[in-house]
């Protein structure tokens, strides 16, 4: 899969694509249904399958959120697109200029001149351009003008409800990982590179692999039983804490993971943390001794959980 940042980097070789446009946060089952249709059309037309998405997401830009509640970081999203067979991923920087772009200009500059779009697939509620003036009817008219087909996808439902990123975030906030996994089509996970920490976990007898969440506000808080997948695809059992570490006066949100039965040096490794079960909420303890006792109990609860799913 080729990643293109900005429509100004599109070349003649990228023309003739089958295209879809959206935020695709989570790349959930609804998104996957769109990608499946995209790939089918691309195969039928012998054309590249192309996804256009935005960084930051439009709602992040308009609300000026410093910490955004996303299901997937850009790198995670790109990895999922590649697995789904996308040929070309175009990232448009969402800024005031793009927000103010008339829909006619978006179609001409990006879809027509940039990608030479042969076929376009969008959601039935898709809106774009200045003041969200562009819609499906507008795109149908533009398709006739520029010679590309346009089709809409119907709302994808499971259990009689629309599958959406908002619905999945609500399930994760309740730690309903089983239901969230059904809507995502995979278990919920967070990926990142292990960074050096303050070694407090090692001092307490629970060394951790720390992943900075930076400006990402994940819809989880507390202590969890997790599976950890390393770069060699080895899977470990462990427990993870997501929070600000109030016992030591922490301010930044951090993902700290203690792996059971792992003696390897994990610094700078890229890990995937797969969330399986919530053990408890994050708490502020009176001292490190009380924290250490709680961690021992957390580990026993995590081990008991893994025993139940193995048996």
**Same-domain pairing of 146 and 223:** no
> Are residues 68 and 199 located together in one domain of the fold?
no
* Same domain, yes or no: 86 and 235: no
Together in a domain, 65 and 99: yes
Separation CA 117–CA 101 (nearest Å): 19
The CA–CA distances, whole Å, from 53 to 19, 24, 78, 201 equal 11, 7, 10, 39
* Residue 179 maps to a domain: no
Q: What is the pTM of this model?
A: 0.90
204 shares a domain with 127: no
The burial class, CB within 10 Å (0-12 / 13-18 / 19+), for 263 is exposed
Report the CATH number at residue 151. 3.40.50.620
CATH code for position 271: 2.40.30.30
**Which of 128, 162, 196 delimits the end of a domain?**
162
Any domain includes 198: yes
| CA–CA separation, 213 and 225 (whole Å) | 19
What is the predicted pLDDT for the residue at 199? 66
Overall number of domains in the chain: 2
Structure tokens at 196: 């050096």
| Beta-carbon count within 10 A of 290 CB | 13
Separation between Cα atoms, residue 174 and residue 311, nearest integer Å: 25
Q: What is the pLDDT of residue 65?
A: 63
Residue 76 structural domain: 2-162
| Residue 262 belongs to some domain of the structure | yes
Structure tokens, 127: 């809106």
Structure tokens at 223: 């202590």
CB–CB of 162/155 below 8 Å? yes
- How many CA atoms, within 13 angstroms, populate the side-chain half-sphere of residue 9? 11
Long-range contacts from 240-246, C-beta under 8 angstroms, 24+ separation: 240/273, 240/275, 241/208, 241/282, 242/213, 242/218, 242/282, 243/282, 244/282, 245/282, 246/282, 246/283, 246/284
In the three-class reduction of DSSP (H, G, I as helix; E, B as strand; rest coil), residue 294 is classed as helix
Inside any domain, residue 250: yes
Q: How many residues does the chain have?
A: 311
Report d(CA 303, CA 295) in Å as an integer.
12
Beta bridge partners of 88: 2, 50
Q: What is the pLDDT of residue 252?
A: 79
Name every residue whose Cβ is closer than 8 Å to that of residue 12 and which is 6 or more positions away in sequence: none
**Antiparallel, parallel or unpaired: β 157-158 and 161-162:** antiparallel
The pLDDT assigned to 68 comes to 65
How far apart (Å, rounded) are the C-alpha atoms in residues 101 and 112?
15
CA neighbor of 113 nearest in space, from 272, 7, 231, 258: 7
Are 200 and 150 found together in one domain?
Answer: no
* pLDDT score at 94: 93
Rounded distance, CA 39 to CA 83, Å? 12
Would residue 304 count as lying in a domain?
Answer: yes
Predicted pLDDT at 66? 56
Closest CA to 69 of 80, 78, 60: 60
- On whether both 6 and 150 belong to a single domain, the answer is yes
Q: How many CB atoms lie within 10 A of CB 195?
A: 12
Residue 156 and residue 114: Cα distance in Å, rounded?
30
Tens of each residue's pLDDT in the chain, 311 residues: 999 999 889 988 899 999 999 999 999 999 999 999 999 999 999 999 999 999 998 888 888 765 568 899 899 999 999 999 999 999 999 999 999 999 999 999 999 999 999 999 998 889 999 989 999 999 999 999 999 999 999 889 999 999 999 999 999 999 999 999 999 999 999 999 998 777 666 667 788 899 988 767 788 999 999 999 999 999 999 999 998 877 776 767 889 999 998 877 888 899 999 999 999 999 888 888 888 899 999 999 999 999 999 87
């Amino acid at each position: 899969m080729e990643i293109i940042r900005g429509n100004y980097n599109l070349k003649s070789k990228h023309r003739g694509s089958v295209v879809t446009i959206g935020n695709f946060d989570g790349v959930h089952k609804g998104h996957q249904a769109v990608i499946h249709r995209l790939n089918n059309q691309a195969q039928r037309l012998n054309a590249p399958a192309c996804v256009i998405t935005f960084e930051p997401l439009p709602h992040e830009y308009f609300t000026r959120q410093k910490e955004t509640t996303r299901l997937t970081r850009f790198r995670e999203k790109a990895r999922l697109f590649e697995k789904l067979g996308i040929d070309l991923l175009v990232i448009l920087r969402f800024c005031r200029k793009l927000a103010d772009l008339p829909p006619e200009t978006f179609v001409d500059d990006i879809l027509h001149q940039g990608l030479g779009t042969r076929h376009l697939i969008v959601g039935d509620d898709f809106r774009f351009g200045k003041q969200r003036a562009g819609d499906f009817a507008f795109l149908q008219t533009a398709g006739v003008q520029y010679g590309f087909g346009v089709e809409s996808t119907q709302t994808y439902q499971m259990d009689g409800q629309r599958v959406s990123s908002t619905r999945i975030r609500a399930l994760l906030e309740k730690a309903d990982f089983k239901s969230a996994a059904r809507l995502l089509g995979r278990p919920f996970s967070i990926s990142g590179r292990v960074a050096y920490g303050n070694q407090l976990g090692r001092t307490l007898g629970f060394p951790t692999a720390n992943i900075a969440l930076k400006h990402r506000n994940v819809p989880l808080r507390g202590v969890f039983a997790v599976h950890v997948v390393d770069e060699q695809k080895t899977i470990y059992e462990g427990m993870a804490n997501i929070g600000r570490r109030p016992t030591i006066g922490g301010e930044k949100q951090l993902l700290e993971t203690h792996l059971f039965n792992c003696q390897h040096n994990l610094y700078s490794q890229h890990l995937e943390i797969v969330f399986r079960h919530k053990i408890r909420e994050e708490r502020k303890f009176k001292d490190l001794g009380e924290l250490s006792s709680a961690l021992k109990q957390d580990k026993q609860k995590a081990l008991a959980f893994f025993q139940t799913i193995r048996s």
